[in-house]
Amino acid sequence: DQAREAYRPVFIISDFAADSEEWDYSLQARLESALSEDRISIKLQPQADLRDGRIVGAEALARWVDEERGDVPPSRFILQCERVGRLDELTKRILSKSLDAAAALQTCDHHPRISVNVSAIQFVDSRIAELVEKNLAIHSADPAKLTIEVTETARIENFSVARGVFEQIKQLGVNFSMDDFGVASANLEAMFELPFDEIKIDQIFVRGVHHSETARAIVANVVRLARDAGLTSVAEGIEDRETYDFLRETGCDLGQGYYISRPMTLSNLQEMMTLQKDTPLLRDKYG
C-alpha cells in the first residue's frame, strides 16, 4: 500500500505537467503562426440522405498538421484558441474556407449544404452574426446552403442573448443544428429556448446501437423527438451497415460517419458529388 501511495504523486505531477503553462506556451506560439500563415485547413465529411444514400451536405472539420507535432486534434487546438481569445479568428478562417467550398460545389447537381462548427460561447454578442453576414457576401454564397452546428450548448449562460444572435443569423437564411445531442447537459433546454432547425445525435449513442438496447432506445426516441418538434435529425458516427440500416429504419433523416465516408478534400467531394452513386459503395475509393 505504501508503495502504491508513493506512485500517486508522480501521476499527479505528470498530469499537471501536461497542462502546465510551459507546454501551452509552446503550442500557443505554433498555433499563432499557423493562424497568421493560414495553415489551418478543413476536411469535408459527407452527409447522406438515409433514404437513398445520396450526399446532401458535408461538415467542415478543422485540420492542423504541425511540422513538429504532426496532426493536432481539433479538440486540442480549439480549446487552446479559446484560452487565448483566438476562437473568433479560427472561426473566421474556417467559415471563409467553408463558404469557398460551398461556392465551388454550387455547380454540382445536388448542390450540398456545408455545416460549420461554432462554439456556443460565441453567441454572447453579435460578432459571430457580423462574421457570417460579411463572409456570405464576400463569397457570394447561398445562405440556405450554410448550416451552423452549435457545439457545447451546455455552456450557454444567457438564452435571451443567444436567441437574439441566432435570430440575426437566421434572418440571413442560415440554418442551425445542435451538435452532440444527448451529451451536453442542457440540450433539452437549449432545444426549447433556441430556434434550431436540426439536431445531431451524438456518436456515443450511434456507436452503441450494436450492443446496447439503451443506445437503440435513445437513438430511436431522439429521432422521434426531432420529428415531433419539426426538426431534421442527423446521426453522426455511423461506422457500419447494420447501424446505417437501423438509423434508416428509425426514420432518421441524415447520416454521417466512416461507413458513408471519412472527411475528405474539396476536390474528392466534388468528384463524389459528380458521380452521385450510392455512397456506401464508394467508400473504399474515397475513404
Residues forming contacts to Mg ion in the complex (CB under 5 A) are 117, 149, 179-180, 200, 236
Give buried/exposed letters for 63-92 (b at 16+ CB in 10 A, else e).
Answer: bbeeeeeeebebeebbebbeeeebbeebbb
Closer residue to Mg ion (CB): 149 or 198: 149
Closer residue to Mg ion (CB): 30 or 235: 235
Closest distance between ligand C2E and the C-beta of residue 268, in Å? 15
Phi first, then psi, for residue 44 (nearest 5°) are: -115, 125
**For binding to ligand C2E (CB under 6 A), which residues are involved?**
45, 61-62, 73-75, 78, 94, 117-119, 149, 151, 179-180, 203, 236-239, 256-258, 263
| Cα–Cα distances in angstroms (integers) from residue 264 to residues 59, 148, 271, 274, 275, in the given order | 10, 19, 11, 15, 15
Q: What is the DSSP letter of 237?
A: -
75 binds, among ligand C2E, Mg ion, none (CB under 5 to 8 A by kind): ligand C2E
Of 134, 130, 129, 99, residue with least CA distance to 116: 99
Closer residue to Mg ion (CB): 59 or 246: 59
258 binds, among Mg ion, ligand C2E, none (CB under 5 to 8 A by kind): ligand C2E
Of 195, 155, 201, 197, residue with least CA distance to 180: 201
Helix 87-104 and helix 74-83, axial crossing angle in degrees, nearest 10: 130
Closest distance between ligand C2E and the C-beta of residue 68, in Å? 20
Closer residue to ligand C2E (CB): 236 or 253: 236
119 binds, among ligand C2E, Mg ion, none (CB under 5 to 8 A by kind): ligand C2E
Closer residue to ligand C2E (CB): 53 or 263: 263
The x, y and z cell numbers of residue 125, run together, are: 454578442
